């Protein structure tokens, strides 16, 4: 097998990533209200043919589609996180992403009677993938809900005998993010400091303005890794073209690599048009913001001996979804292969940022 196996069938893009006897399948699909049932059925059939169990799913679209999305899945046995971007009209569905696994026994992680993810073991490490984590009490104010979500992340990980500092990657979706991103960062930084995160490793992350199906102030997902020996390394990767986000009091790493015998996974944080000093550049020009952002991501990939062809999944966040074509046009101009990218209509973490992309890349050594 090559570094990865890309299979495109109809609207699906499936990337297969083997690691220590387990295979992860990253599936990206363009979806709409009209074809949602067909897409979900197709993904289920493709994964069944691979003897893989779906462990995680995003749907990008308005809250009104959550009941239909759930009904479109014959047996929902994984966390489904529906993201309604702050900038989104709520009238469309733009896509979906799945992560499925074969060759591993999946152990459920439960939030009461709700399944929020799974953990599994290999000879080299323990992995835990959780989604749709939210506060129980939605009458709490924003900062209190954020605190409650971080506390819940920690409690859920204990079901896998893991610690908060085992988290390698977070996805943090904040309702009306632009109104309280600074306050959120203060909550996150304080929690990280209390748990010793800064002494170990600050995780990669995406922070986006998006409410979820229940309308809470914050919903999150995470990937945690607990190595079993020194042959597994989990470490932060700097960005050659940007300063550390910590420099402007945002507590996340630009990227994190999980380096295990035989394979590597590089998870790149949400990346936008920010220059080395931390300031937004190309104000009001989405095309230029895309150009700089993609250059930044490409340099991170190259710094780890990877390239666009190693992409397993990506999410592109647009403040104005009518400009989504600018990304595909950029890729065409620069000879970038057909990326497995989902489009989300959402606010980025600054008023003047018009585009952000996150990306995971995989490579078999």
Q: Which of 54, 76, 103 represents a domain boundary (last residue)?
A: 103
65 and 172 share a domain? no
361 and 297 share a domain? yes
Q: In what order do the strands lie in the sheet with 233-237?
A: 233-237, 255-260, 263-271, 355-364, 311-318, 341-345
Give the pLDDT of residue 8: 46
- CATH number assigned to the domain comprising residue 128: 3.30.1330.40
Least Cα distance to 348 among 323, 319, 326 occurs for 319
Gyration radius (Cα) of the chain, Å: 19
Instruction: Tell me whether residue 189 is in a domain.
Output: yes
Q: Which percentage of the chain shows pLDDT scores above 90?
A: 65
Lowest mean per-residue pLDDT among 48-57, 175-184, 208-217, 317-326: 208-217
Prediction pTM value:
0.93
57 and 160 share a domain? no
Give the pLDDT of residue 1: 32
81 and 62 share a domain? yes
126 and 45 share a domain? no
Q: How does pLDDT run across 11-31, given as a tens digit for each residue?
A: 799 999 998 889 999 999 887
Give the pLDDT of residue 2: 40
- CATH number assigned to the domain comprising residue 20: 3.30.1330.10
Lowest mean per-residue pLDDT among 46-55, 63-72, 90-99, 313-322: 63-72
Tell me which residue range forms the domain holding 50.
1-103
Instruction: Tell me whether residue 316 is in a domain.
Output: yes
Give the pLDDT of residue 66: 67
119 and 201 share a domain? yes
pLDDT at 53 over 70: yes
C-alpha 342/C-alpha 314 separation (Å) is 6
333 and 268 share a domain? yes
Residues 6+ apart with CB under 8 A from 34: none
Lowest mean per-residue pLDDT among 81-90, 200-209, 252-261: 81-90
Instruction: Tell me whether residue 234 is in a domain.
Output: no
Instruction: Tell me whether residue 235 is in a domain.
Output: no
C-alpha 54/C-alpha 68 separation (Å) is 19
> Please, which pLDDT band fits residue 159 given cuts at 50, 70 and 90?
very high
159 and 91 share a domain? no
- Tally the domains of the chain: 3
pLDDT at 82 over 80: no
Instruction: Tell me whether residue 301 is in a domain.
Output: yes
């Amino acid at each position: 097998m090559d570094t990865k196996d890309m299979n495109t069938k109809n609207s699906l893009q499936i990337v297969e990533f083997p690691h220590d006897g387990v295979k992860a399948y990253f599936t990206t699909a363009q979806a709409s209200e009209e074809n949602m049932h067909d897409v979900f059925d197709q993904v289920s059939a493709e994964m069944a043919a691979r003897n893989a169990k779906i462990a995680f799913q995003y749907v990008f679209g308005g809250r009104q589609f959550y009941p239909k999305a759930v009904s479109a899945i014959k047996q929902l046995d994984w966390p489904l996180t529906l993201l309604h971007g702050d900038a989104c009209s709520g009238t469309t569905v733009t896509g979906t992403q799945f992560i499925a696994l074969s060759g591993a026994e999946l152990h459920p992680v439960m939030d009461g009677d709700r399944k929020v993810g799974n953990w599994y073991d290999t000879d080299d490490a323990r992995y835990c993938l959780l989604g749709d984590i939210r506060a129980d009490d939605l009458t709490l104010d924003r900062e209190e809900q954020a605190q409650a979500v971080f506390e819940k992340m920690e409690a859920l990980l204990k079901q896998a005998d893991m610690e908060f500092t085992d988290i390698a990657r977070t996805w943090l979706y904040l309702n009306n993010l632009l109104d309280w991103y600074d306050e959120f960062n203060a909550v996150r930084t304080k929690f990280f400091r209390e748990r010793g995160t800064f002494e170990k490793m600050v995780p990669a992350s995406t922070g986006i303005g998006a409410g979820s199906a229940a309308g809470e102030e914050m919903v999150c997902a995470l990937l945690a890794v607990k190595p079993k020996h020194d042959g597994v390394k989990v470490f932060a990767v700097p960005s050659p073209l940007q300063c550390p986000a910590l420099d402007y009091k945002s507590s996340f790493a630009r990227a994190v690599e999980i380096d295990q015998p035989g394979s590597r996974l590089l998870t790149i944080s949400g990346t936008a048009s920010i220059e080395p000093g931390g300031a937004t550049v190309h104000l009001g020009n989405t095309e230029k913001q895309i150009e700089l952002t993609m250059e930044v991501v490409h340099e991170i990939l190259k710094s780890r001996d990877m390239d666009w062809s190693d992409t397993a999944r990506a999410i592109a966040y647009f403040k104005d979804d009518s400009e989504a074509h600018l990304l595909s046009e950029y890729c065409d101009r620069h000879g970038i292969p057909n990326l497995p990218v989902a489009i989300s209509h959402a606010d980025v973490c600054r008023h003047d940022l018009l585009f952000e992309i996150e990306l995971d890349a995989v490579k078999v050594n």
